[in-house]
Homo-oligomer: A and B are copies of this chain.
Amino acid sequence: MTAPRDYEIFEAGDVTLQGGAVFPRLKLAYKTFGTLNAAKDNVILYPTSFSAQHADIEWLVQRGGALDPDRYFIVIANQFSNGLSSSPSNSRDMLGAARFPAFSYYDGVAVQRRLLVERFGVTKLALVYGWSMGGMQAYHWAARHPEMVERAAVVCGSARCSPYNHVFLEGVKSALTADPAYRDGRFVAKPTAGFRAMGRVYAGWAMSHEFYREEVWREAGFTSLEDYLAGSWDTTFARRDANDLLAQIAIWQAGDISRCDEFGGDFDRALAAISAHMLLMPGRTDRYFDMRNNEDELGRLVNARSAALHAIPSIHGHRAGNPVNNAADRAFINAEISALLQR
């Protein structure tokens, strides 16, 4: 007996991807919260982050919080390759012996848009909210569909994958693929050592110098640094399919709002296309989504209705943007998003 499925599927049919491949019977998994109002102007789109599925991030949807289901119709879109939407792990029936093709954020945004328009008749988004890879999707939405996006909150995200972020991911990827289960470009079994290596590499990038110096992990009940690393990181990625993770990293590394026919690689032009109220909310101590990237972007949002950079004053590194067990950062984010939704 399996648990009842707590999400819906949008069947997108055969979809031509940005890279040219046609993906047969493409599926987008999503979950909604709250009620779409008659004016259809209370929609918040909330795409998933790296390795996450909707269940991992839906905690932020709560009454009285930033993403309040009593007021908003909230749609969590599972990004491609996350194991619920079409992914290497669930596409064998569709692809046969063919390799899983490269997806991009543009592909994800295009299908998310079809979901909103075709299934719900939605043509305006009160807010696109995203953390990390979700924030990159929010940025892509704002640049690609300015007519639809009234507000975008980019939390520990950026308009393109910076070189340093790229190098971080090279470390993660090479640690994972050093495992003996990686053969001829794909995983043939679960990479136990690779998952552990990936987790420990991630541990140093996701959290900050101050987080470790001040032993903040004690707040979660861990009694030693090794205890924390083993308990929090060694098995973090083992919940997921390793080929799915690699496919997500590829989307992340290639992420760039200007990488499409419309903008032709002109980053300034892509940023200038954005008309939404933009809130860039980096973590002060985030290392791979470094706030300097957002600072570079801010001055180029020349056509945004408003553009602000409010860094989360946290020592929780990249995790400041997903403060599941961190009341101070959660309060900061909730207050900022509530204010954004008033604009």
Contact = CB atoms under 8 A, between A and B. Distances in A.
A229 B196 contact: no
Interface string A274-288: 000000000000010
B178 A193 contact: yes
Contacts of A287: 209
A168 to B, nearest CB: 5
Nearest to A192: B178
Interface in A196-221: 196-197, 199-205, 207-209, 212-213, 215
A194 B177 CA distance: 9
A170 B202 CA distance: 10
A180 interface: yes
A165 B196 CA distance: 18
A179 interface: yes
A206 to B, nearest CB: 10
A292 interface: yes
A272 to B, nearest CB: 21
Contacts of A204: 164, 167-168, 170-171, 205
A201 B174 contact: yes
Query: How many monomers of this chain does the complex have?
Result: 2
Contacts of A162: 209, 212-213
A197 B177 contact: yes
Interface in A287-307: 287, 290, 292
B213 A167 contact: no
A287 B179 CA distance: 27
A200 B174 contact: yes
A163 B193 contact: no
Given A171-B171, A209-B290, A163 B200 contact: no
Contact of A178 (B167, B175, B229): B175
B196 A164 contact: no
- Which 10 A-B pairs give the minimum distances between C-beta atoms? A180-B180, A163-B212, A171-B201, A174-B197, A175-B175, A178-B178, A178-B193, A178-B197, A174-B200, A167-B204
Given A164-B213, A171-B197, A173-B200, 7 more contacts: A163-B213, A167-B212, A171-B200, A175-B178, A175-B197, A176-B178, A178-B197
26 contacts: A163-B212, A163-B215, A163-B225, A166-B212, A167-B200, A167-B204, A167-B207, A167-B225, A167-B229, A170-B200, A170-B203, A170-B204, A171-B197, A171-B202, A174-B175, A174-B197, A174-B201, A175-B201, A178-B178, A178-B179, A178-B194, A178-B196, A178-B197, A179-B180, A201-B201, A209-B292
